[in-house]
A and B are shown apart, each in its own frame.
Chain A
């Protein structure tokens, strides 16, 4: 016989508020830094090294807008679910449902991609050690299961773990940067390696698709909104230092790799930073960058589980999905059912889907989310003008960042369409079908009034 503990005197269980700005930084940078270790260099293959640098700057501008907008809105909407909660308060239920799905798919796909990468790295090590017929599947599954278990056990340990391995991966890039002596031409040969734009300006546009890889995921910092001790301070601080870190890391990565490898090779490399370390002939650097590659993929998958589960949990809590997903573990204070539910989803994608499809689905879901953010912040300022609501951070030059974000998103949609048009259309069809299901069936279960628990004034005009 089991005795059941029931709520007494209106007691409630909430997520645990234990995180600081460092954890927010780790959540943002941890998801993204793997993009510096692998993936960004496919932009080089699309249009050459110079095109990749232009893509790096444009994508950097796009994500700086994302970080500024996110910092302002989330310092006010301090709720798990991040952009989902923003959409719910600022636009409405259908937009919120879609944004919630974008978030869950973007992060779960990215988690699957990281697990595939880790499995591949272990398999490569096995092959290099002379073991024939090594299998990557057990390591893919172990990565997902171990990180889900860590997330299940508590957010503080999970993000402290991410903080340590992300810092290690970032410092490894810095060490490599100084080791190749960028002030001299001992290793770096930009005068010989940079060959202009081999595919012209169309190549620059095509490179935008993978230029996003330098920063994709920094917006995930908002998912920690309900677990930070001081949302108004920690979220803007963690997010803005995160994007600054990534801008520095992206620039150093491009400088090192494009100065050491010809663009024809760099554009196809699986692990460009590790390859750059190998070209220095330093065993220490090779070991450092190999560990950095492993750590960056591990940190990214870890933070993705954290973010996807918070978005799924928030949607369950508001009954956008079955309410069971809105449960909090009474001991560990984590959204445990959401974490467990998303494990088989990630396993299916990691086990059966090809890596490039998984990555593209993640990028497209992210792009849809950024497009929403541009409209969202304009509506936010219109409905709740400055002074009408307490903000932890006010982003400058409004509405310039929102307009720039929209223009850059439009250019990136075109870039993705050039390479993955069919997938772009297939994904749009998926989200339209999901929206119809929500509007025609699920919406009747939504907690219409109770979902708006923020102590906000009524919006202007209502």
Chain B
């Protein structure tokens, strides 16, 4: 195996890792927060006080 082949395998490996990271985080987030909260964004919330930083509690994750 030459150096470039090693680079190619590393690129595949890193791509799979990044993809898995996003998928795992997405599923964990979806399970930890209610759908109503996740889809609660509204346009035009420039000075809307009800748009807040949600509490960073993530249940029993």
Residues of A participating in the B interface, judged by any CB pair closer than 8 Å: 1-7, 10-15, 17, 78-81, 85, 126, 129, 131, 134-135, 138-139, 141-142, 145-146, 148-149, 152, 226, 231, 314, 317, 323-324, 326-331, 336-337, 339-340, 343, 451, 453-455
Provide the residues of chain B in CB contact with A314, threshold 8 Å. 43
A331 touches B56 (CB 8 A): yes
B43 touches A80 (CB 8 A): yes
Provide the residues of chain A in CB contact with B15, threshold 8 Å. 138, 141-142, 145-146
Beyond A12-B50, A323-B39, A324-B35, list 15 extra A-B contacts (CB 8 Å).
A7-B40, A13-B41, A14-B41, A138-B8, A138-B11, A139-B8, A142-B15, A317-B41, A317-B42, A317-B43, A330-B37, A336-B26, A337-B26, A453-B44, A454-B44
Provide the residues of chain B in CB contact with A340, threshold 8 Å. 22-23, 26
A13 touches B22 (CB 8 A): no
Q: How far is the CA of A81 from the CA of B41 in the complex (A)?
A: 13
| Given the contacts A4-B32, A145-B15, A129 and B4 also touching, CB distance less than 8 Å | yes
**In chain B, residues 10-61, which have Cβ atoms closer than 8 Å to a Cβ of chain A?**
11-12, 14-15, 18-19, 21-23, 25-26, 29, 31-46, 48, 50-52, 54-61
B37 touches A138 (CB 8 A): no
Provide the residues of chain B in CB contact with A5, threshold 8 Å. 32-34, 37, 54-55, 57-59
B46 touches A142 (CB 8 A): no
Residue of B25, B33, B41 near A15 (CB, 8 A) is B41
| Given the contacts A2-B32, A5-B33, A12 and B57 also touching, CB distance less than 8 Å | no
Provide the residues of chain A in CB contact with B18, threshold 8 Å. 145-146, 148-149
Residue of B11, B22, B38 near A149 (CB, 8 A) is B22
Q: How far is the CA of A443 from the CA of B31 in the complex (A)?
A: 29
Provide the residues of chain A in CB contact with B5, threshold 8 Å. 131
**Taking the nearest CB of chain B, how far is it from the CB of A268, in angstroms?**
27
B50 touches A11 (CB 8 A): yes
Residues of B participating in the A interface, judged by any CB pair closer than 8 Å: 2-5, 7-9, 11-12, 14-15, 18-19, 21-23, 25-26, 29, 31-46, 48, 50-52, 54-61
Q: Which residue from chain B places its CB closest to the CB of A317 in the assembled complex? A: B41
A3 touches B32 (CB 8 A): yes
| Given the contacts A5-B34, A138-B15, A146-B14, A231 and B46 also touching, CB distance less than 8 Å | yes
Q: Which residue from chain A places its CB closest to the CB of B46 in the assembled complex? A: A78
Across the A-B interface, the 8 shortest Cβ-Cβ residue pairs: A3-B59, A138-B11, A79-B43, A12-B40, A131-B4, A327-B38, A14-B51, A6-B34
**Taking the nearest CB of chain B, how far is it from the CB of A319, in angstroms?**
10
B33 touches A4 (CB 8 A): yes
**Taking the nearest CB of chain B, how far is it from the CB of A416, in angstroms?**
33
B31 touches A2 (CB 8 A): yes
Q: How far is the CA of A340 from the CA of B42 in the complex (A)?
A: 21
Residue of B3, B29, B58 near A131 (CB, 8 A) is B3
Q: How far is the CA of A152 from the CA of B23 in the complex (A)?
A: 11
B19 touches A145 (CB 8 A): yes
Provide the residues of chain B in CB contact with A330, threshold 8 Å. 29, 33, 37-38, 54, 56
A11 touches B22 (CB 8 A): no
Residue of B14, B41, B45 near A326 (CB, 8 A) is B41
B14 touches A142 (CB 8 A): yes
Q: How far is the CA of A339 from the CA of B23 in the complex (A)?
A: 11
Q: Which residue from chain B places its CB closest to the CB of A134 in the assembled complex? A: B4
Q: How far is the CA of A66 from the CA of B29 in the complex (A)?
A: 39
| Residue with the highest number of chain A CB atoms closer than 10 Å, among B29, B39, B51, B59 | B39
Residue of B11, B38, B55, B58 near A142 (CB, 8 A) is B11
Q: How far is the CA of A4 from the CA of B44 in the complex (A)?
A: 27
14 inter-chain pairs at a CB distance below 8 angstroms, sorted by A residue, are A2-B31, A2-B32, A3-B57, A3-B59, A6-B37, A10-B50, A13-B38, A13-B51, A15-B41, A141-B15, A145-B14, A145-B19, A324-B35, A453-B45
Q: How far is the CA of A135 from the CA of B7 in the complex (A)?
A: 10
A7 touches B37 (CB 8 A): yes
Provide the residues of chain B in CB contact with A81, threshold 8 Å. 43
Residue of B25, B31, B46, B52 near A12 (CB, 8 A) is B52
Provide the residues of chain A in CB contact with B34, threshold 8 Å. 4-7
**Taking the nearest CB of chain A, how far is it from the CB of B44, in angstroms?**
4
B8 touches A454 (CB 8 A): no
B43 touches A453 (CB 8 A): yes
Provide the residues of chain B in CB contact with A138, threshold 8 Å. 7-9, 11-12, 15
